Structure 1
Amino acid sequence: MRSILCFGDSNTHGQVPGGTPLQRYGPAQRWPGVMWRELGPNWHVIEEGLSGRTTVRDDPIEGAHKNGRSYLTPCVQSHMILDLIIIMLGTNDLKARFNQPASEVAMGIGCLIHDIKELTPGPQGTVPEIMVVSPPPMLDDIKEWEPIFSGAQRKSRELALQFEIIADSLEVHFFDAGSVVECDPLDGFHINDRAHEALGVALAQEVEAIGWTRDSE
């Protein structure tokens, strides 16, 4: 059995568009659950989605625990042995209070990749497969969230290219979620249950396409 860790924010947590972190889709509806269904019983999929999670930044309002890098090491070590780690972050880094361009958000993703490689949580102490998933671009109309994400819409459309560049440079897998799903117009930056289904199916195909040559313990 191979293990996959899905490390993300509210769109991995399954937050319902227009809702709160307490309003989330069920396990079988969220994209990690859909992916698991598609991959079958020889896989174990671990969800680690947190609403508001950033790549490497303490949030001065929501709290330092939203820093993905701070939680990544204990998370990975608690779930190892891992064959694949999927990272889908970046949207929360675009909040106005961080004032970060898309290229800096991509560098944050790069830091997480470096940390994973140093931890070597794969089979027999190896580096696991790593896949970076760029979130779908935000819609122009993000309702009452506009003051918090002021200017983020344009930057969100630049994430896919910047994430692909960093993934290629660090020799890890990349997938653009925006190639298969769009954000829901209810709030403009969360994906709905239909999008979770489509993303889970697409990512299962990406996982199966990886050249799995080593045995998992």
Structure 2
Amino acid sequence: MPDILCFGDSNTHGTCPMVPEFGGIERFGRDLRWPCVMARALGADWHLIEEGQPGRTTVLDDPIEGEHRNGRRVLPAIIESHGPIDVMIIMLGTNDQKARFGLTGRDIALGAGRLVEMALASGKVGRVLMVCPPPVLERGEANEVFAGAEARSAGLATKYAEVARALGVAFFDAGGVIESHPDEGVHFGGAAHRALGVAIAGKVHTMMQESAT
């Protein structure tokens, strides 16, 4: 039974769109969260490990929300806890777009790439799928926190694809399949979770076929 680990932020955790107030903690159930949808689409032979943490960044200590949300800090322990891992999916970068960090799109892509490098260097991860999250929309109460995110999102998928290619790992553009919630701009609605889960399952299936040839 192959293990597939999904390493991400609140959208991997399944946090519901925070409408009308930003800051809620409600979470979609297993029937809707995209990793669970993906696992069902892959079939019973796969074992899913969900590792989504709200507020998680790629490689940044958050001065407000805490350094424990730095993906680089926790990734080694997660890999040691769950390894060996057949497929690891990394979808991070949304929180890196917060105004407090002031990063360029290129910096965000390189941060995600650093996590890919760590996974590969561990010797406990077989294949990695690097996923670019869909563009952030500056909407509602999230607008202040993510001020400037729409500009940072522009072309981000291209930058992720370049990093993935350089590292020799698979790439998937979530923004080619779904959009962030139109009224909140950061999190995914239920239909988006379903669509993303099915699409990523297809990508994983293709990855496994290619590796077998």
RMSD across aligned C-alpha pairs, in angstroms? 1.3
Q: Does the Cα contact within 8 Å between 1:3 and 1:82 map onto a contact in 2?
A: yes
CA distance 1:116–1:21, change in 2 (3 Å)? farther
Match of 2:7 in 1: 7
2:34·2:194 contact (CA, 8 Å) conserved in 1?
Answer: yes
- So what's the TM-score if we normalise by structure 2? 0.94
Could you tell me whether the CA contact under 8 Å between 1:6 and 1:12 is conserved in 2? Answer: yes
How far apart, CA to CA, are the structure 2 residues paired with 1:16 and 1:186?
12
Aligned length: 208
Q: Which residue is equivalent to 1:24? A: 27
Q: CA–CA distance in 1 between the matches of 2:202 and 2:142? A: 33
Residue 153 of structure 1 aligns with which residue?
A: 150
Shift in Å, 1:189: 1.3
Deviation at 1:63, TM superposition (A): 0.2
Consecutive unaligned residues of structure 1, counting only runs of 5 or more, are 123-127
Structure 1: distance between partners of 2:155 and 2:163? 13
Is the 1:10–1:21 Cα contact (8 Å) retained in structure 2?
no
* Contact map agreement 1:138 1:157 (CA 8 A) in 2: no
Aligned to 2:212: 213
4+ residue stretches of structure 1 with deviation over 3 A?
none
- 1:93-104 aligned within 5 A: 93-104=96-107
Q: Quick one: which of 128, 133, 146 aligns to 1:135?
A: 133
Aligned residues: percent identity?
Answer: 47
> Distance between the aligned counterparts of 1:94 and 1:8, measured in 2?
14
Tell me how far 1:158 sits from its aligned partner.
Answer: 2.2
Distance 1:188 1:109 in 2: 21
Q: Tell me, yes or no, if the aligned pair for 1:31 and 1:197 is still in contact at 8 Å.
A: yes
Task: Please tell me whether residue 179 in structure 1 is matched to residue 176 in structure 2.
Answer: yes
Q: Is the partner of 1:99 in helix, strand or coil?
A: coil
> 1:157 Cα shift?
2.5
User: Does the aligned pair in 2 maintain the 1:96–1:150 contact within 8 Å?
Assistant: yes
- Contact 2:142 / 2:186 at 8 angstroms: preserved in 1? no
CA displacement at 1:21 relative to structure 2 = 5.3
Counterpart of 1:118 in structure 2 is 121
SS of alignment partner, residue 206 of structure 1? helix
Q: Shift of residue 159 of structure 1?
A: 1.5
